Amino acid sequence: MISEYNIREPYRRGRIEVICGSMFSGKTEELIRRLKRAKFAKQNVEIFKPAIDTRYSCDNVVSHDSNSIPSTPIDSSASLILLSSEIDVVGIDEAQFFDDGIIEVCNQLANSGIRVIVAGLDMDFKGRPFGPMPGLCAIADDVTKVHAICVRCGNLAYVSHRTVDDEKQVLLGEKMEYEPLCRECYNKSNNEQTKV
């Protein structure tokens, strides 16, 4: 005879996976791929994105190649905890735009058995660490750095170079505002701009 005390729920192993790199490197594409695999495996999946990112859609996470997956836009990392009950996998896109509280939130989710997959820019247009991404990389169980191709020489891109004159750290944009450059081409471009 099986008692109710002998029936155990399957053990859920929480973890944090970070996908980082420059713009046009396939971060969101990889996030969508992992989330769709989890859905195919009949796992409960919830995807979140910052409410400020409305470039392609207000309600979907959309890659530069137009692949998309439904998401929930949120204004702060605290909302993740409230909206993540009964979820097996949480996806977070454009994590660099969230507040630093997202680091602790991701830790809490993973510690409660949830697989957390985070995608975001690791550096801003000046090549500086961007928002909470360094902290997320530090606490991650796995970090995948993806690379775009430098549009000037064809080497692996290092940074998202801003092509418009605007010094704000956060400037939502696409190919008209940014280009992926390798370290050498990025440094050359900065030296040329300094001389002008």
Sequence-ordered list of residues with C-beta below 8 angstroms from that of 109, at least 6 positions apart, any chain: 14, 80, 81, 84, 90, 116
Phi first, then psi, for residue 190 (nearest 5°) are: -65, -40
Do 63 and 24 meet the contact criterion of CB atoms below 8 Å apart? no
Bridge partner list, 120:
20
Choice among 94, 104, 167, 184 that is catalytic: 94
DSSP-derived secondary structure letter, 165: S
Pairing, β 89-92 against β 115-121: parallel
Q: Is 94 a catalytic residue?
A: yes
Instruction: Kindly state the tokens that stand for 39.
Output: 């859905």
Largest CA distance in the chain: 83
Catalytic positions are 94
